[in-house]
Amino acid sequence: MGELDTDRIAAAAVAVADERGVGGFTMRAVAETLDVTPMALYHHVADKAALVALVVDRVINERPLPPPSGEWQNDLWEMACWVRHATIAHPAVSQLRRIHQVWTPTVLPMTERWFSVWQQSGLEFDDAMLAAATSSMAIVGLVEEEQLFREMAHPDDGLLDWLPNTRLAFHRAPDRDREFELVVRSLIEGLHHRLAREAGDRRPAHRAAGSQ
């Protein structure tokens, strides 16, 4: 058995989260995977939240974001794809992070980048910040809802006998990649268009007020 360190602990913890989910993610389960006692883990991580922080950092670092392209909409799209890929690969991790309210040095730079890219859109600063905040929440919610439907059993056909459109919706074979791209790109384009238009509507009023 190799020497116990944070890298080995993080790898084992990610494996436990992937295999056992949120309910099975415990210090004891990680210790058993490493063939050590739970007390041995406490020499490296203070508590379960610290263990979750190691997991979050490992997941973020295993697939680096591509470098910025200079095309702000494409850069937002690439970041959204990253979030979706990480969630599908490790569905329990985002839930663990939320439960234990974990912020790490790898999470915050991604937040900074998201807001910075929106500021490259040409929107006024406050509008860019609003677009960044709302689009981030919407995309995370979309990814989590997609994951829920991947895991959730469909309703029994007997419940759908009198709901023809709902029955068709459940029996169609969704192209989830296409659906995700449609929603994310529409969200980005729609937010930008609406906020730019609202900013344009505000400007004449400001000029009129200044001329009085």
DSSP secondary structure code for residue 2 in this structure:
P
Please indicate, yes or no, if residue 209 is contained in any of the structural domains.
Answer: no
User: Is 13's pLDDT higher than 70?
Assistant: yes
Please indicate, yes or no, if residue 68 is contained in any of the structural domains.
Answer: yes
Please indicate, yes or no, if residue 207 is contained in any of the structural domains.
Answer: no
User: Is 47's pLDDT higher than 90?
Assistant: yes
Please indicate, yes or no, if residue 208 is contained in any of the structural domains.
Answer: no
Please indicate, yes or no, if residue 211 is contained in any of the structural domains.
Answer: no
pLDDT at 212: 44
Q: Do residues 51 and 9 make contact, with C-beta atoms less than 8 angstroms apart?
A: yes
Distances (CA, A) of 208 to 23, 195, 202: 60, 21, 10
Least confident residue range of 163-172, 182-191, 200-209: 200-209
Least confident residue range of 15-29, 155-169, 176-190: 155-169
Residue 116: pLDDT band by 50, 70, 90 thresholds?
Answer: very high
What are 143-171's pLDDT values in tens digits? 999 988 888 888 888 898 889 998 888 88
pLDDT at 2: 56
Please indicate, yes or no, if residue 132 is contained in any of the structural domains.
Answer: yes
Which residue range is the domain that position 45 belongs to?
A: 6-202
Burial 63-79, CB ≥16 within 10 A → b, else e: eeeeeeeeebbebbbbb
Please indicate, yes or no, if residue 57 is contained in any of the structural domains.
Answer: yes
Please indicate, yes or no, if residue 77 is contained in any of the structural domains.
Answer: yes
CATH code of the domain covering residue 170: 1.10.357.10
pLDDT at 153: 86
pLDDT at 208: 47
Judged by DSSP in three states, 95 sits in: helix
User: Is 55's pLDDT higher than 50?
Assistant: yes
Structural domains in the chain (count):
1
pLDDT at 41: 92
Q: Taking the chain, what is the end-to-end CA distance rounded to the nearest angstrom?
A: 80
The pLDDT > 90 percentage for the chain reads: 74
Compute the mean pLDDT over every residue in the chain, rounded to the nearest whole number: 91
